[in-house]
Homo-oligomer: A and B are copies of this chain.
Amino acid sequence: MPSTRAVRAETTEYTKDRILRVAAELFMRQGYSGTSVREIGQRAGISQSALYHHIQSKAHLLKALHQQFIVEMIDRLETVVDTDRSAPEKLRDIVGVVMSIIESHQPEVTVFLREQHALPPAMRRSIVRQRDRVDQLVDRVIRDGMAAGELRSDVDVRLIRLGILGMCNWAYQWFRSGERFSSEEIAAAFGVIAIEGIVEPEPRGR
Contact = CB atoms under 8 A, between A and B. Distances in A.
Interface of A: 28, 30-34, 113-115, 117-118, 152, 155-156, 159-160, 162-171, 173-174, 181, 185-186, 189-190, 192-199
15 contacts: A31-B34, A34-B34, A113-B173, A114-B115, A155-B189, A156-B189, A163-B167, A164-B167, A166-B166, A166-B167, A167-B167, A167-B170, A193-B194, A195-B197, A197-B198
A166 to B, nearest CB: 3
B170 A186 contact: no
Nearest to A171: B166
A53 to B, nearest CB: 27
Nearest to A169: B170
Nearest to A161: B193
A177 to B, nearest CB: 16
A158 to B, nearest CB: 8
Of listed A114, A163, A197, residue having the most chain B CB within 10 A: A163
A170 to B, nearest CB: 3
Contacts of A192: 152, 155, 197-198
